[in-house]
Amino acid sequence: MKKKIKVAFQGEKGAYSHLACLEVFPNIESVPCPTFEEAFQLAQDNPEYKIVIPIENSLAGRVADIHYLIPKYKLQIHAEHFQKVSHNLLGIKGAEIKDIKTVRSHSQAIGQCKKMILQNKLEPIIAADTAGSAKYISAKKDKTESAIASVLAAKIYDLDIIKKNVEDESGNVTRFFIMANETKHPETKDKKYITSCIFKLKSVPAALYKALGGFATNGVNLCKLESFSVKNTFDQVNFYIDIEGHIEDPQLQKALEELGFHTEKLDVLGVYEANNFRLTNK
């Protein structure tokens, strides 16, 4: 019998991160963690574990704290995954929409389902996460209480799906990283790759302009550039970049070499195949 892959995620079972784990690795031993940091710590201490971590959402933007945890724990990105997020209104068995008075979920899920909440005159209750909300109402067994969560959460906690796809906007997608303690780069083939890095510039005039110039002169495309503050300072920032191409590409190597001249620190976070979602949704 094939040994199950051990994969950790943040949240309760039934969370969208759990759903992403199952889509990437159908045969897994899934390990829920209360916080993102505990998931990172688990993978750092146990090389046999992988983690599936949300990095950004198409509606809500980047996920708080992840940009700080990545350089702290120095795990490597092995792959990316794009997970469609479909919110559902869940209730206990036999509950109907006319019975419900309150709806519980994560703040982002509540914010993304405002129309349904207003139309049905529900009282929103902010909770730590979506799946935890489903678990809570399952235990309470109160027909007046509901949760916004995934279909997987409904199945795990034996809840009825009262309304499907209750989000205000369709096309809600979360990008995840599959990360682990092992440093490995795929062999370069006739495929599209992404190389991800974090760097801190030298504190001199025009440092960012000069640092990015190497990508222009070498014909290398950046598909993401983000800044985020260095903790406990207001005058320095780190930059996160996604670069189209494999780190073994000569032109990309030249661009990174030029970037290195203008940085105090440069960490390559991973080299991985571009997900098909990225290629088909340009």
Give tens-digit pLDDT for 185-240: 888 888 999 999 999 999 888 999 999 999 999 999 999 999 988 766 666 789 99
Q: Structural domain of residue 113, as residue ranges?
A: 88-163
pTM: 0.92
229 forms beta bridges with 237
137 forms beta bridges with none
Cβ count within 10 A of residue 172: 21
CB-side exposure of 193: number of CA atoms within 13 Å?
A: 21
> What pLDDT score does 2 carry?
64
Active-site pick, 174, 177, 215, 263: 174
> What pLDDT score does 184 carry?
83
Q: Do 121 and 48 belong to one domain?
A: no
Active-site pick, 9, 36, 176, 215: 176
Angle (deg, nearest 10), helices 250-261 and 207-217: 170
Dihedrals φ, ψ of 42, to 5°? -60, -45
pLDDT band at 170, cuts 50/70/90?
confident
Last residue of a domain, one of 136, 153, 180: 180
Name the more confident of 170 and 76. Answer: 76
- 61 pLDDT more than 90: no
Q: Is 174 a known active-site residue? A: yes
Q: Is 263 a known active-site residue? A: no
Contact by Cβ (8 Å): 175, 54:
yes
Contact by Cβ (8 Å): 127, 104:
yes
Q: Do 219 and 260 belong to one domain?
A: yes
Q: Do 197 and 270 belong to one domain?
A: yes
